[in-house]
Amino acid sequence: MPLSQILVPDDAGELAQAWAQVRTNLRESAGARLFDQWLKPIQLDDSGDADRIRLTLPSAFMTNWVRSHYADRLYHEFRAILPYVRAVAIETAPAREAPALVAIAPVQAQAPIAPAMAEPAALSDVERPALEPRYTFDRFVVDQSNRVAFNAAKALAEPGPVRFSPLFLHSGTGQGKTHLMHAIGHFFLAAVPGARVIAMSAERFMFDFVAALRARDTFAFKARLRSADLLLIDDLQFIAGKDATQEEFFHTVNEIMGAGKRLVISADRCPQALDGIEQRIIGRMAIGLVADIKAPSLELRRTILDRKMADMADANVPCDVLDMLAARITGNIRELEGALNRVVAYGQLTGETIDLDFAVATLGDVLRGSQRRVTIDEIQKLVSTHFDLKPVDLVSARRARAVARPRQIAMYLSKRLTTRSLPEIGRKFGGRDHSTVIHAVRRIEELRDTDREVDGAVRVLMRELEG
């Protein structure tokens, strides 16, 4: 009698019972939440050879995930119960084959498993990174604050020999490092369509690693990351103090670098300032290129708003409102764009005309929270120095143009850069009426459109006041 007939059972009931036991083991090790989301939908297909287990899932995405995370685990679970099993194949159920629940045993047999020894998925079926479509190189506004980081990102994304790796990007929140990371992914995939690109946050790295530990399936986790042609890890600071995660991260970095592949890591600080991160990881980061993104300048913020407005064909936001947003929201591009979106949305919802007063009223809380505390006294001192006057001249009754124009500019800046009311501003300028302040603000707004000297002076003063 052939050996296969001796080792392979003669009824499907034993296979169904084995599958039920495997499901029970998976639920205990993976936890109810992960099991219900990824493993419960697996269906057992008993139509194949007895020594080759065939498991199916309803979608290619779920199939790839289970293959990546549970292929080996499923194979070993089946082998522990049915030693004759030689392979476990994890496949996507054809659309024409609606998965049916077949009660072969008193236990449910409706969850299929991912193949451990299945054929590798085609590159087109491999997980694709979740990259933000808007975050591309051509939509990244470049100036001196981010030029080095931008050029480094483009150089690393170019196909061909890797010039340096890793690339370590650091900046404050909302200043463009995530944009550059996604742009690298987009560019590299466009140049090398079959490449395997993985993008995740450090927090996601930690979560997936812990899940793999609990499932006793770290091999699939390691293999998945180390097979990447381009690995993007955002916000490294989130694994500070997590020793086991840092251990795995260190080995992943070593494997990627040793294989000559591309690695990009970002954080909110330079490597040496990352508290709670192991020195050996910091040392690896320093081997590549470290590039920082500084706080955006006034000109960059204003240019970003212009780029944003180009995407809003139905919006009408005056230049003075855009100037005010660029001047008052200084540190975070994300907040700047959010403020513009809010002004436009409120204008469309209320039907009101968007002007400076409307924008200030709409963004009162945002402006107060983001504004550096510029005072009227600071404005008066800086304006008087710029125009070679004494601070007392600005609060005097003198009407000479050499004094009146700087006074109007100072009032304009006080309205733009402080939260003081019009009457309060008037009182700080020699007890003048609020209507005088309104006139000064409107006059400077008009002159900025027609007088390059006045506009240039205002821009210089705003840049200095914002620090």
> Is the pTM value of this prediction over 0.75?
no
Judge whether 174 is annotated as a binding position: yes
pLDDT of residue 167: 93
What is the rounded distance in angstroms from the CA atom of residue 76 to the CA atom of residue 393? 86
CATH at residue 419? 1.10.1750.10
Judge whether 178 is annotated as a binding position: yes
Per-residue model confidence as pLDDT tens digits over 112-135: 333 333 333 333 344 567 788 889
Residue 410 lies in a domain: yes
Parent domain of 28:
3-118
Residue 131 lies in a domain: no
Q: What percent of the chain has pLDDT over 90?
A: 23
Q: Of 344, 370, 396, which residue constitutes the final position of a domain? A: 370
Q: Of 268, 292, 316, which residue constitutes the final position of a domain? A: 292
CATH at residue 339? 1.10.8.60
Residue 7 lies in a domain: yes
- Position 96 confidence tier, pLDDT thresholds 50, 70, 90: very low
- 148 with 84, same domain? no
- 252 with 305, same domain? no
- 312 with 239, same domain? no
- 302 with 443, same domain? no
Residue 45 lies in a domain: yes
- 168 with 26, same domain? no
pLDDT of residue 184: 95
> Where do we find the tokens 């008009």?
446
- Position 49 confidence tier, pLDDT thresholds 50, 70, 90: low
What is the rounded distance in angstroms from the CA atom of residue 50 to the CA atom of residue 322? 70
Judge whether 176 is annotated as a binding position: yes
- 275 with 144, same domain? yes
DSSP letter at 398 equals -
CATH at residue 66? 3.30.300.180
Residue 129 lies in a domain: no
Residue 333 lies in a domain: yes
From 117, 101, 114, 108, select the one nearest 19 (Cα to Cα): 108
Q: What is the mean pLDDT of the chain?
A: 82
CATH at residue 146? 3.40.50.300
Number of separate domains in the chain: 4
- In DSSP terms, 292 is beta-bridged to 170
Per-residue model confidence as pLDDT tens digits over 301-355: 999 999 889 888 778 899 889 998 888 887 688 888 888 999 999 988 888 999 9
Long-range Cβ contacts of 428-433 (<8 Å, 24+ apart): 428/376, 428/377, 428/380, 428/395, 429/394, 429/395, 430/394, 430/395, 430/396, 430/397
User: Which region among 55-64, 208-217, 438-447 has the lowest average model confidence (pLDDT)?
Assistant: 55-64
Per-residue model confidence as pLDDT tens digits over 278-304: 899 998 888 889 998 888 888 889 999
Q: Of 310, 341, 370, which residue constitutes the final position of a domain? A: 370
- 278 with 351, same domain? no
Q: What percent of the chain has pLDDT over 70?
A: 86
- 87 with 40, same domain? yes
- 419 with 446, same domain? yes
Q: Is it the case that residue 106 has pLDDT exceeding 50?
A: no
- 340 with 415, same domain? no
Residue 397 lies in a domain: yes
Residue 158 lies in a domain: yes
- 410 with 332, same domain? no
Residue 415 CA to chain centroid, in angstroms? 35
Rg of the chain, C-alpha, whole Å: 31
- 281 with 312, same domain? no
